[in-house]
Structure 1
Amino acid sequence: MLSAERFLLLLNHYRILDRDTEVEATLEELAGLFHCTERNVKLIIRKLEDEGWIIWHAGRGRGIRSRIEFCTSREQFLLDTAKLMASEGDYQKAFQLMQHHGDRTSARDRFVDFLNGHFGSDRLVDGMQAQRDIFRLPVYRPPVSLDPARLFFSFDSHLIHQIFDRLLGFDAREDKIVPALAHNWESSEDARVWTFHLRKGVKFHHGKEMTSEDVCFTLQRLADGQPNRFLLETMVAVTAIDSRTVRISLRQPNRLLPRLLCSAVASILPADLLQDDPERYWQLPSGTGPFRLNRWTAERMDLVVHEAYFQGRAYLDEVQIAVMPEDIPAETRQKWGQIMASDTRMAVRPEQSWGKIQTINHGCSLLSWNRRKSGPQQSVAFRQAIDLAIDRQGMSRMSGDHCYPARSYMPKTHQHPALERYEPDTAIRLLEECGYDGTPIKLLTGPMQLRDAKWIKARCAEIGVPVEIRCEQQQAVYPPDLVMEADCILLHLVFAEDEVCELEIYLQDSSYVRQHTDNALAVWVRRILDLLFSAETSEERRSLLRQIEQRLLDEHQVTTLIHRTISTYVHPSVRGIDINKLGWMDFKDIWLVSDAQESAVTSLSSPL
């Protein structure tokens, strides 16, 4: 790219826009521009001529100056260079190039049009070789961590599902646990001892066969001080009976354990690589999943199919995930598909023949109130006043047509308008009764929820409550001091695994709701969870979880706001697409119609 940088210097120095433009120049002048000797200038000119960008007309005779003839326009050069950068995965650099040098050209718009065809599914055939099916996806936030023990964000969870496997799986359609790395399992009568029988021949991406050593190492590592250790908090020991049998001993009955082991948090890791060099391992982690991580930079991730996957080879050969600049305008983003659950999306108009898949996002946006800090939010009347001041119907309309009011964590099949309460007059009365003195409320949120935060601020101002918004880039989990400094946090919860994700709210170290819950309520929640672990049926467990949720809602520990739906438009030659509870599609299920005559491009959109 050094030659391209030097050509840009020429374009900028001589203010060139169009091709076939000629300017006079001297070797001495160019030596000053390139900060080199005249001898090196001649080498640079030769390279630029080899690229076909310029023609050097050397001056012959006294008084005849040399000339540079520009053979390409600024716009075409920027477009060609940006395309090359995109093909190498440097999407952010390509946009930076447009931003810094694309004034007075339409290069940026043309580059976006190029990406419209670049992203999606593509079928490549190289001579007599078999075809390669590639899926390219744009996202606007890179994964924070691929370590299951430190999992917090939904996008990270989706990627972990592609790279790793768990002992057991959960079939959401059938609402049942199914075999995965373990082909069978049983427990003692009191549910304190569980035995898992592992499949033979399951290979990690680096070729090693998975054994009970890997399972024991993974589970012990998870239980030893990791942020997600709540998953195994009842475990006292994990033992390898032999190379294919693992026994887990618990301090109390836990009939929920098989369901917990379906979680991405419990993904099985290779003991050999992590024990040898853990820092190097996490640069390109190896798992047993349907795809192996082949490349991971700040701008791009490449997932390549795991040929020996024990549950059958995926149809796609490769998935390329491009991390785009966050500051791309919304009107530009809408020109290609977006499928990241935590992204702001705009509707993409599909072609008439394209199919549409729509599903409800499992989760909701909410306010978590900090009851461990002094301030107006300590008053239940104050928190109730804020609840009544928020017009959820209005918030839904502001956020998009695919949103509707939330009065619980999970969306209901039928919403009853009578349950919606928007009573600003009552809110003002409650503030007077609780003696609110006008102290501002500190609201913490991230860029993806900033628009909603500003809307909430406006509604609070209508009842006389000033709100100070602090927007922090959530490249990682908010540190505890920042969480405890806020009076409330606006966040979006995604319940990819219903029971497990609800437990995360109350038990995970990084959970903002757990950190905000007052001591008395936390003790009560702990007692209910002990009952939940020993409950014999899923109906009992769900009933106990609903009790916890209802008390948090009754005390306004959390204020639920809106649910969202996800719409996906699919090119007719792309099959197998279905949106999972994380708001993503499972890459393993995607396949292309074999007789498609041109590249298949999938356009996806959602109001999230």
Structure 2
Amino acid sequence: MKLHGQYLRLHSRFGLTGEAEVTMDELAAVLDCTRRNAMNIVQSMTERGWIDWQARRGRGLRSTLTFLAPPEDIAAQAMLHTMNQRDIGRALDQISAHSDATALQDRLQGWLLSYFGHHSETQTGKRIDTLRLPLREQIQTVDPLSINLLAESFVASHVFDGLVRRAPEGGSILPNLAHAWETDAERKRWTFYLRKEVLFHNGKVMTADDVVYSLQRLAGTSRRMLYSSIIKTVESVNSPYPHTVVVVLKEPNELFLPFLCTTRAAVVPRDLEQLGERFGTAPVGTGPFKLTALNGRRCVLEAFTHYFQGRAHIDRVEIFHVPWNLPDETDDKAEQASPFHVVHNPQDGTDGDWSQINSPASVRKFMTCNTHRPGALADPQVRAGLFACLEGIEPDKSPAADIPDKTIRMATIDSYRHDAELAAERLRRCGYLISVTAVSAEEFKGPIRMEADLIIFSLLRDRDEQLRLFDLYRTIASHIDPHIRLDMELLLTHIAKQPDPVLREEAFRKIERQLIAEHQLHILYEKPVQTAYLPSVRGVTFNAQGWIDLRHLWFPPQ
């Protein structure tokens, strides 16, 4: 397939008019090879009918190069080969190499997308069902301690289990690795009773020591991470009896049990330190799928036969990092779309054959002001005018009167850059000077957030919404006016001790109303998580985060 790439390189350089006057030395320079090798390449392309070469003898004399084969056909041939070899990395490189040719790139993307979806094959007399999914986010790790992205959490939720889990409908808390639990009258001492003979993917039996280690590992980490304020309330974890784990909290926290439903609180083996940093890419869990491969572009999950809740129906899931939008997506939809909810399988026929199932989750994007940082945004009226501009209301006077020669710094993470640029453009049209900085999720946890004037956040409104709000408002409290911060912290303390989720929800709404009234928070938009289009698929259910639960998927014979 090297010759295909060489043809496309020559066509990109000399094929604008279909014919070019060139020297062999110029061809060698473009192909990055010797003159002799360039002559052999030209001969091979001529024999295949890709080009016509009218040579003029003598070094430095210009010969006539005519391109006969459409570059789309050559690229498609190379794409087919790489797809047949399951070398998606090379296929993506080929697409990237033609990013300046929109029509060609669109065609190559179409070829590649035909690779995804459900595929069946027979191996040693057994039918093997494989589901291939494209993912825009690149999975770096699935270690529950280190995950930052929704894609990483999605994979980790199928590799690991927690003590308890959310019900698919209604959001009630159900047994998982713990078959039962209880708490004392003060609601500070939680006792969990573990299932027996649950296996890790390496064949070892999960014990209470693994659970103790997992929770102590979380409580003892210095990493900034989601829900850290909840895990820091753990005072001690121990196992007084086999199959029993006792967790003692420093103070009552009604969000502790919901926290144990999250992937962050998943149980890992106590001997994972032997793997070191490799655990993030070669993990061992108890979940329905074991991870057998993870590199920059490809993640492979295989059904774990001995899963304690029953083997998954599908045998294999291959997830690929595809860093461009899926078909029929526009820029304003790109961020809220969930690529692992899309199974592209054009062989299933027309649109009428596709089922559509709505996820119960939605995504809210909003902006907050960092009034901890000195500047004009400390004035509520200035904040009100700025937020009015985001609503399309023209200011009565130029913002320069309130913010003279001052650039407002806006910060967010890379995934939300598009939203930040849209908001910045609206503000610029109103006369504001805006700079936008987007960094990785890990960098965003550092000082860059506190150095910005405006901060763009996202909230996934799923069954863990109260957990996310608690963590979010803790974060926002660090950069708002002191008097609002005090009210917020008192309400958050009340929420942590409130056993009734309905009353907790009302307290969260009260915080939101106050932040909006004080012009500390502005909601940019809220959109439902993308509908899942799944042709010929059965057993579609969503987990607590509104993601498809791969364990229950199955495909009838075609």
Structure 2 CA distance for partners of 1:10 and 1:581, relative to 1, 3 Å: same
C-alpha deviations, 1:407-452, integer Å up to 9, x for none? xxxxxxxxxxxxxxxxx36x647979x9554633222235554444
Structure 2 CA distance for partners of 1:582 and 1:467, relative to 1, 3 Å: farther
RMSD (Å), alpha carbons: 4.5
Structure 2 CA distance for partners of 1:500 and 1:437, relative to 1, 3 Å: same
In structure 1, the residue matched to 2:78 is 81
The offset of 1:45, in angstroms, is: 11
In structure 2, the residue matched to 1:115 is 112
| Structure 1 letter corresponding to 2:286 | T
Map 1:156-171; keep pairs closer than 5 Å.
156-171=152-167
In structure 1, the residue matched to 2:245 is 246
Map 1:185-334; keep pairs closer than 5 Å.
185-224=181-220, 225-228=222-225, 229-272=228-271, 274-326=272-324
In structure 2, the residue matched to 1:602 is none
Unaligned runs of 5+ in 1: 56-67, 395-423, 597-608
SS at match of 1:491: strand
Structure 2 CA distance for partners of 1:542 and 1:587, relative to 1, 3 Å: same
Q: Is 2:442 the counterpart of 1:442?
A: no
- In structure 1, distance between residues paired with 2:340 and 2:243: 45
In structure 2, the residue matched to 1:413 is none
The offset of 1:14, in angstroms, is: 9.5
The offset of 1:9, in angstroms, is: 7.3
| Structure 2 letter corresponding to 1:304 | E
Structure 2 CA distance for partners of 1:104 and 1:373, relative to 1, 3 Å: closer
SS at match of 2:301: strand
Q: Is 2:541 the counterpart of 1:574?
A: no
Residue identity over aligned pairs, in percent, reads 25
Q: Is the 8 A contact 2:255 2:467 kept in 1?
A: no
In structure 1, the residue matched to 2:61 is none
In structure 2, the residue matched to 1:351 is 351
Structure 2 CA distance for partners of 1:89 and 1:500, relative to 1, 3 Å: farther
| Structure 1 letter corresponding to 2:281 | Q
The offset of 1:161, in angstroms, is: 1.1
The offset of 1:536, in angstroms, is: 3.0
The offset of 1:483, in angstroms, is: 1.0
In structure 2, the residue matched to 1:547 is 510
The offset of 1:316, in angstroms, is: 1.5
| Structure 1 letter corresponding to 2:166 | F
- In structure 2, distance between residues paired with 1:121 and 1:271: 36
The offset of 1:150, in angstroms, is: 3.5
The offset of 1:96, in angstroms, is: 3.4
- In structure 2, distance between residues paired with 1:5 and 1:252: 64
| Structure 1 letter corresponding to 2:523 | T
Match of 2:451 among 472, 485, 494: 485
SS at match of 1:352: helix
Structure 2 CA distance for partners of 1:460 and 1:294, relative to 1, 3 Å: same
- In structure 2, distance between residues paired with 1:331 and 1:380: 43
- In structure 1, distance between residues paired with 2:410 and 2:452: 6
Instruction: State the aligned residue count.
Output: 536
Unaligned runs of 5+ in 2: 51-64
| Structure 2 letter corresponding to 1:499 | Q
C-alpha deviations, 1:530-555, integer Å up to 9, x for none? 33233232233323333333322222
In structure 2, the residue matched to 1:605 is none
- In structure 2, distance between residues paired with 1:177 and 1:514: 29
- In structure 1, distance between residues paired with 2:29 and 2:432: 60
The offset of 1:186, in angstroms, is: 0.7
Q: Is 2:93 the counterpart of 1:96?
A: yes
In structure 2, the residue matched to 1:58 is none
Larger mean CA deviation between 211-220 and 359-368 belongs to: 359-368
C-alpha deviations, 1:249-276, integer Å up to 9, x for none? 122223432222112211111111x221
Q: Is the 8 A contact 2:540 2:549 kept in 1?
A: yes
The offset of 1:383, in angstroms, is: 1.8
TM norm structure 1 = 0.75
- In structure 1, distance between residues paired with 2:13 and 2:387: 59
| Structure 1 letter corresponding to 2:353 | S
- In structure 2, distance between residues paired with 1:381 and 1:32: 60
In structure 1, the residue matched to 2:56 is none
Structure 2 CA distance for partners of 1:352 and 1:9, relative to 1, 3 Å: closer
Larger mean CA deviation between 189-198 and 224-233 belongs to: 224-233
| Structure 1 letter corresponding to 2:118 | S
C-alpha deviations, 1:3-35, integer Å up to 9, x for none? 7666767888997999xx9xxx99xx9999785
Q: Is the 8 A contact 1:363 1:493 kept in 2?
A: yes
The offset of 1:332, in angstroms, is: 7.8
Structure 2 CA distance for partners of 1:94 and 1:515, relative to 1, 3 Å: farther
C-alpha deviations, 1:290-314, integer Å up to 9, x for none? 1121111111111111221111111
SS at match of 2:450: helix
SS at match of 1:242: coil
Structure 2 CA distance for partners of 1:253 and 1:590, relative to 1, 3 Å: same
TM norm structure 2 = 0.81
SS at match of 2:356: strand
The offset of 1:98, in angstroms, is: 4.2
Structure 2 CA distance for partners of 1:448 and 1:343, relative to 1, 3 Å: farther
In structure 1, the residue matched to 2:488 is 525
- In structure 1, distance between residues paired with 2:340 and 2:537: 24
| Structure 2 letter corresponding to 1:366 | F
SS at match of 2:202: coil
C-alpha deviations, 1:61-85, integer Å up to 9, x for none? xxxxxxx9x9987544422322333
SS at match of 2:444: coil
Structure 2 CA distance for partners of 1:345 and 1:119, relative to 1, 3 Å: closer
The offset of 1:37, in angstroms, is: 11
Q: Is the 8 A contact 1:357 1:567 kept in 2?
A: no
In structure 2, the residue matched to 1:389 is 389
The offset of 1:514, in angstroms, is: 4.5
| Structure 2 letter corresponding to 1:369 | C
In structure 2, the residue matched to 1:401 is none
Q: Is 2:470 the counterpart of 1:506?
A: no
Larger mean CA deviation between 278-287 and 568-577 belongs to: 568-577
In structure 1, the residue matched to 2:423 is 456
| Structure 2 letter corresponding to 1:214 | D
Q: Is the 8 A contact 2:195 2:243 kept in 1?
A: yes
